[in-house]
Structure 1
Amino acid sequence: MNNPFLGTGIAIVTPFKADLTVDFQALENIVEYNINNGIDYIVISGTTGESVTVTKQEKKEITNVIIKVNNGRLPLVLGIGGNNTAAVIEEIKTTDLSGFAGILSVSPYYSKPTQEGLYQHFKAIAEVCPIPIILYNVPGRTSKNMLPETTLRLARDFKNVVAVKEAGNNIAQYLELLRDKPEDFSVISGDDDLALGVVLAGGAGVISVIGQGLPKAFSTMINLGLEGKAKEAYALHFKMMDIINLIFEENNPAGIKAVLNHLGLCDKTVRLPLVTATDQLQTKIDNFMANFSKS
């Protein structure tokens, strides 16, 4: 069976108009731009999509627009996660998941469960979820690291736990996962700066933030990595290093929205408690993008 989570996925933004309503036309344009430039799959309602400040109704509308525009061209992944296990289970049970290749479920944040608590949370989800699950470990946001032994215990115990989006920015942890994982379990980079190294070490690819702003270059780099062409891949990586750092300089997704703003794809508006990219950051991003397009 082909792995739908191989290559470059993007954690798509939710574009807003100046009045903070969802800009559905901009959303359509971003989806089309990414499909046309080599992205392999799209992740809806992740952190980069400002999922915590999008209402349930908006989430449905955003999802429906992306399904419609995508029109079956790329696999879609839906973010369904949180730190209230019962609420996550309820959302899974009441959401039509038929159009999705999988769900991305973030490790519980704020509550700081033990490793056993993390296991039991995802066990409860795995027992009710009818489609594949990508675990999402992002300790910088959750304040709790899901250790490789917990991730791999879930991978071995549940057939529908098929991958982890690992975003601990910890190369040793990536290597431990890659060394010990079951053969049919995928390790996906959630760190744009480490993605190529992870792929060259045996990772399946990336769920990227910068990928939606530089889809052609970034997906080409990942594909070269999957083919083992390290030298050619790193030549591209070195060209993109500065922009990867820039988009995370203030907050995510303010940085990537500044990139998309430069491309004329959406406004750079974000919802509080996030604030838009400063003029200084926008200028740095504009300068990088102008030079990159010439290179």
Structure 2
Amino acid sequence: MAVFTGAGVAIVTPFKANGEVNYEKFGELLEFQIKGGTDAIIVCGTTGEASTLTHEEHLEVIKYCVEKVNGRIPVIAGTGSNCTETAIYLSTEAEKHGVDGLLTVTPYYNKATQKGLFAHFKAIADSVKLPIILYNVPSRTGCNILPETIVKLCTEVENIVGVKEASGNISQVVKLMSLAEGKVDLYSGNDDQIFSLLTLGGKGVISVLSNVAPKETHDICEKFFAGDMEGSRDIQLRAIELCDALFCEVNPIPVKKGLNLMNMEAGPLRMPLTEMEEANAVKLEKAMKDFGIL
């Protein structure tokens, strides 16, 4: 059984002006997502600026999220690291806090071999009982999990169940699903490819777009699974301008700006991320207005 089906939000971590985590606003964002029909919360991922959270903050944000959501929808914690021991530590602690699953990114900077990737992910999986979704995003990590390695992990390691595929390489995803034999739960990691990956057997999306448009992102998936292919496709195509604007600078710079434009008070970014360039902010605001969320 999949950890979740449909639209999971890769949720931002809101900060106060002084850089501290703003738990009051985080709670409001969680309620906004649940009200909008989001099917799962993915906390402390790339969009949540996990790389600039201390370990203590990382785990406190996860703990708060689990308590606030209170079982209404699944909570999946990002616990990946380029250090296997660190990933194991974050994963075991997140399990203690009651998350429903883990999202573990490929080790960045180290650029492990496929053999190293298998050993890394197996070591994490062996340390917990939770289901694990791999995260393949070579544009950010410099490391690509090959389809054969993903299938091997999902076949040989009981609690590794799927992958968030953000390579952008549709041919690679097609090959993955041709080898998967139903053993790999596929989630789109690119908001402009949700519909495409659903047609290949995907279970849903782990989405940046959902931060600002939870209902519409959910509806792309819900309509698809209900057999309304045209309705699903139409929302996907209508969202392309907004998807482009949300990634015209490195994530999560644009999506935090978008939330602030919606008066959701996501706050500033942590260095080395900086505020959005004015020309790109204008482009984002226009896309949000055209999509009907401003």
TM-score band by shorter chain is: over 0.9
What letter is aligned with 1:229? D
Partner of 2:21: 22
For 1:164 and 1:197, the matched residues in 2 are separated by: 15
Alignment of 1:1-295 (within 5 A): 1=1, 3-97=2-96, 99-293=98-292
Deviations 1:6-53 (A, max 9, x none): 110011101112221111111111100010011000011101100010
> Is the contact between residue 254 and residue 268 of structure 1 (CA under 8 Å) also seen in structure 2?
no
> Is the contact between residue 247 and residue 256 of structure 1 (CA under 8 Å) also seen in structure 2?
yes
Deviation at 1:68, TM superposition (A): 2.3
Greater displacement, 26-35 / 118-127: 118-127
Length, aligned pairs only:
294
Deviations 1:213-264 (A, max 9, x none): 1011111012122334222112111211011001110111011111111211
Greater displacement, 148-157 / 218-227: 218-227
Q: Percent identity?
A: 36
What letter is aligned with 1:67? V
Cα separation, partners in 2 of 1:5 and 1:228, compared to 1, 3 Å: same
For 1:24 and 1:200, the matched residues in 2 are separated by: 38
> Is the contact between residue 76 and residue 102 of structure 1 (CA under 8 Å) also seen in structure 2?
yes
Deviation at 1:55, TM superposition (A): 1.1
What letter is aligned with 1:97? K
CA-based RMSD: 1.7
When normalised by structure 1's length, the TM-score is 0.95
SS in 2 for 1:13: coil
> Is the contact between residue 45 and residue 51 of structure 1 (CA under 8 Å) also seen in structure 2?
yes
What letter is aligned with 1:245? D
For 1:130 and 1:268, the matched residues in 2 are separated by: 35
> Is the contact between residue 104 and residue 135 of structure 1 (CA under 8 Å) also seen in structure 2?
yes
> Is the contact between residue 3 and residue 131 of structure 2 (CA under 8 Å) also seen in structure 1?
no
Deviating 4+ runs (over 4 angstroms): none
Deviation at 1:102, TM superposition (A): 0.7
For 1:106 and 1:218, the matched residues in 2 are separated by: 23
Cα separation, partners in 2 of 1:65 and 1:89, compared to 1, 3 Å: closer
For 2:140 and 2:260, the matched residues in 1 are separated by: 25
Q: Please, which runs of 5 or more residues in structure 1 have no aligned partner?
A: none
> Is the contact between residue 59 and residue 94 of structure 2 (CA under 8 Å) also seen in structure 1?
no
Deviation at 1:268, TM superposition (A): 4.6
What letter is aligned with 2:15? F
> Is the contact between residue 18 and residue 267 of structure 1 (CA under 8 Å) also seen in structure 2?
no
Deviation at 1:157, TM superposition (A): 0.2
Greater displacement, 213-222 / 94-103: 94-103
> Is the contact between residue 80 and residue 104 of structure 1 (CA under 8 Å) also seen in structure 2?
yes
What letter is aligned with 1:105? T
SS in 2 for 1:49: coil
SS in 2 for 1:257: helix
What letter is aligned with 1:287? K
> Is the contact between residue 177 and residue 187 of structure 1 (CA under 8 Å) also seen in structure 2?
no
For 1:227 and 1:38, the matched residues in 2 are separated by: 15
SS in 2 for 1:77: strand
SS in 1 for 2:164: strand
What letter is aligned with 2:21? V
SS in 2 for 1:67: helix
SS in 2 for 1:5: coil
For 1:294 and 1:263, the matched residues in 2 are separated by: 8
> Is the contact between residue 16 and residue 267 of structure 1 (CA under 8 Å) also seen in structure 2?
yes
Cα separation, partners in 2 of 1:75 and 1:294, compared to 1, 3 Å: closer
Cα separation, partners in 2 of 1:260 and 1:153, compared to 1, 3 Å: same
Cα separation, partners in 2 of 1:99 and 1:93, compared to 1, 3 Å: closer
